[in-house]
Amino acid sequence: MKKIILFILSALLAFPVVAQSYHPNWSVRAFRNQDGLPYEVVRDISWHRDSPVVWFATWSGGVACFDGLNWRTLAPSTGFPFDSIRTVTAVGAGKAWIGADLGLVYVDLDRKVVLTKEKYPTLVESNCFSSLRVSEEEVWIGTFSGYILAVSAEIPAGASPTWRVVLGDELTRGAQIRKMIRDRQGRIWVANSDTGVLCFEGSSWRKVATSDELGGDCLSICEAPDGSIWATGLNALNRYDGKGWEVVHTFHPAITCVVFTPDGIPLVGTNKGLFVRQNEKWNKFSLDQESPDQYVETLACQPDGIVWVGTRVGAFRLSPTLWTQCTDNDNNSKLLEKSLIAEPDRPPLALSENNELMQFDGTLWRPILALPSRETSIGMMTRPREEKVWILSGTDVFHCSLTPPALLEKISVPGQFDPRSLYQDKKGDLWLLSSTGLYRLDKGSWIAEPAGKDNYIREKIQGMAHLENGDYWIGYDDRVEHWHGGEITSYPARGKIFQGWPPTGVILETHDKRLIFGTPSYGLLFRDTKNNWTKSQRKKVCFEIEFHLFMRILVKSCGWGTVTMAFLSSMATSGFPINIMRASRMGRSFVWGNTLRVNCGLLSLGAPFTPIPAPKVLRIPPFL
């Protein structure tokens, strides 16, 4: 038992500490200089719906672009003209408008168009403070001296930049344009540091509030889910309902920014930390236990609920927790580890210890098909294909229909194979992964693969993957093989690339054709299309312990390019099962999130689906 406790403690210490939040469904991840951020003062954060890249405007470090794995910096050291950046607005994949203290830049991958007053004398000002994409065609730039310029959202190659002044300094009295938003009705609201709140509606501007009415300089503004406008004073948070202003709350620190989450939770940034209102109370949110009083520069919220916080000590991502424990079922039977199948467009499936195919109805796991009982509890299934699955149960393989639930056929597996799992490739072929090698089902018989190789060493199989180009990658206990066009390339378990035994337990192909290998030595290993190999920065993803630790990664596409990833590791020692899951979401990127630990059972993602009535259990007699 002492060894088990020590393992749990050492495993958890291998991961970054997650700050405790007043919001029960948030986890926190910090991004600092050591993580790839070029400078820790973050003034603005932006992204575009067509790209997983997040853009960070840093003061003195240029612009950082992060795709969830790799960082790219735009700074004087890399050929970018400015390093003191106040604002950034992404307008497409690899495209953005970047506002600095000395000029404005449009970037399109490696192409850039620079606007400065020295280069374009008719430009009223190039000292930028804020930016907003107001339409598909235009981006507005707020300046230090109270101007707002309209520029084209994108500048084609070879074209010259154009601009127009949409707000002069008469209304703003030369004060900074700190924040601009576009509400649901298409109106543009402006937080002006000296004169208060301005609104552009149709073709004219009007002053909605003075700084005196707001209680001091207005640095930020946002729209609440109910359509009201919230604006900041020095210490007062104000709400405008279309008729008048009211003070929502007074903060003792100076307010710097305000934003709402999609589910209606307001967050307020101050010069002494972040505050969140929940259950009608405002509480301080601890981003970092070591320095809880960060100066919050900016707040931004993605449509999926992820909140980005820019501070003077780095950037922080507040991620909604995606996972809940779902093990309850009608007959209190245990769900078998490694049997979970969760697709985004159908209810999750799993196998029970009673040899039943279970389906999750949104609340409970319910049996939909009962297979002949077996002495062993080995069980796993393939992903649904044309509403059918293959199920490994003991030394039998069952082909089952899901709609309606029915057993189609049974195929026996010779006992000496010692079956471990099943894999159905993109062609529909069924593969048996066993302790004695790899077998392919051909007309009811199991054929050893690769065929026709007399001296081929057949070892225990840990995992395999069939790629879009037709290649196969096979993970053995002692090596990893790449099957390509009849040729086999072998990578030893303790070689230059893989440095642990077994070398990998899972192999996945990403949307951009990279390969991800889960390894026991240094976590994730990535291979690109040019055969370049990259290790993950986080070490010990699946921990350096005994061979009976297995790693599983479940990747699901959810919505517009969103990818959900979970690392599910399971270990059984002296009958004491331990499950550790890590899950999060960020565009197409792979990120780290909360840690959940349970003593038994199975954790699953409640993917969106329509609950269906529980069908009758079909009992199949053991006549096969």
Mean pLDDT of 391-406: 91
The DSSP code for 211 is H
Residue 581's pLDDT band (boundaries 50, 70, 90)?
very low
Average pLDDT of the residues of the chain:
79
Residue 185 burial class via C-beta count within 10 angstroms: exposed 0-12, middle 13-18, buried 19 and up: exposed
In angstroms, the CA 313 to CA 298 distance is 12
pLDDT at residue 453, as a whole number:
82
Residue 378 has pLDDT above 50, yes or no: yes
How high is the pLDDT of residue 110?
80
- Write the DSSP assignment of 315-360 as a string of letters: EEEEEE---EE---BTT-PPBPTT--B--TTS--EEEBTTSEEEEE
- Report helix, strand or coil for 92: strand
Say if residue 399's pLDDT is above 90. Answer: yes
Least Cα distance to 457 among 432, 483, 431, 479 occurs for 479
- Cis previous bond, 502, omega within 30: yes
pLDDT at 7 over 90: no
Structure tokens that stand for 225 in this block: 């889910």
- Considering only CA atoms, give the Rg of the chain: 28
Q: How far apart are CA 208 and CA 196, in angstroms?
A: 8
In this predicted model, what pLDDT tens digit does every residue of 129-163 receive, in sequence order?
A: 999 999 999 999 999 999 999 999 999 999 999 99
Token pair listed for 13: 């210490």
Asked whether the predicted pLDDT for residue 263 surpasses 50, the reply is yes
Sheet architecture: strand order including 188-192: 177-182, 188-192, 196-201, 204-209
Measured in Å, how far apart are the chain's first and last C-alpha atoms?
44
Query: How far is C-alpha 184 from the chain's CA centre?
Result: 27
Residue spans of beta strands (DSSP E) within 134-280: 138-143, 148-152, 163-167, 177-182, 188-192, 196-201, 204-209, 221-223, 229-232, 236-240, 245-250, 255-260, 266-270, 273-278
Question: Can you tell me the distance from the alpha carbon of 367 to that of 481, in angstroms, rounded to the nearest whole number?
Answer: 38
3-state secondary structure of 139: strand
197-232 burial, b at 16+ Cβ within 10 Å, e below that, comes to: bbbbeeeebeebbebebbbbbbbbbbbbeeebbbbb
Q: Which of 23-37, 156-170, 417-431 has the lowest mean pLDDT?
A: 23-37
Structure tokens at 617: 């259990």
Ranked by mean pLDDT, the top range of 210-219, 446-455, 533-542 is 210-219
**DSSP letter assigned to residue 303:** T
Cβ 352 vs Cβ 393: under 8 Å: no
Asked if residue 70 has pLDDT above 90, the reply is no
pTM: 0.58
Plot region of 457 (φ>0 → left; ψ -120 to 50 → alpha; else → beta): beta
Amino acid 325: pLDDT: 60
Residues 6+ apart with CB under 8 A from 490: 479, 480, 481, 482
Sheet holding 128-133, edge to edge: 128-133, 138-143, 148-152, 163-167
Residue pair 61/38 in contact (Cβ under 8 Å)? The answer is yes
Q: Report pLDDT for 104.
A: 97
If one compares 519 and 258, the residue with the highest pLDDT of the two is: 258
Joined tokens for residue 151 = 């520029």
Percent of the chain with pLDDT over 70: 79
State the average pLDDT over residues 71-94. Answer: 95
pLDDT band at 542 (very low <50, low <70, confident <90, very high): very low
Contacts of 516 (CB under 8 A, 6+ apart): 506, 507, 508, 509, 510, 524, 525, 526, 553, 590
d(CA 553, CA 124): 54
Q: Could you tell me if 218 and 260 are in contact, meaning their C-beta atoms sit under 8 angstroms apart?
A: no
Instruction: Return the structure tokens found at 562.
Output: 């969103």
C-alpha closest to that of 534 among 71, 69, 72: 69
CB contact at 8 A, 420 and 435 = yes
Dihedral (CA of 382, 384, 389, 391) sign: positive
Worst-scoring range by mean pLDDT, 430-434, 436-440, 548-552? 548-552
CB 468: neighbour CB atoms within 10 A?
Answer: 8
Q: What is the pLDDT of residues 467-520, one digit of tens each?
A: 999 999 999 989 999 999 889 999 998 888 887 778 887 788 877 788 888 776
Q: How far is CA 414 from CA 46, 393, 417, in A?
A: 57, 13, 6
pLDDT of residue 332: 74
Which is higher by pLDDT, 377 or 530?
A: 530
pLDDT (average), residues 454-473: 90
pLDDT of residue 103: 95
- CATH number (2.130.10.10, 3.50.50.60, 3.30.420.40, 2.60.120.10) of 37-167 reads 2.130.10.10
Q: How far apart are CA 592 and CA 553, in angstroms?
A: 13
Asked whether 502 and 477 are in contact (CB, 8 A), the reply is: yes
∠ Cα 278 284 289 (to 5°):
130
Residue extents of the structural domains in the chain: 37-167, 324-372+461-619
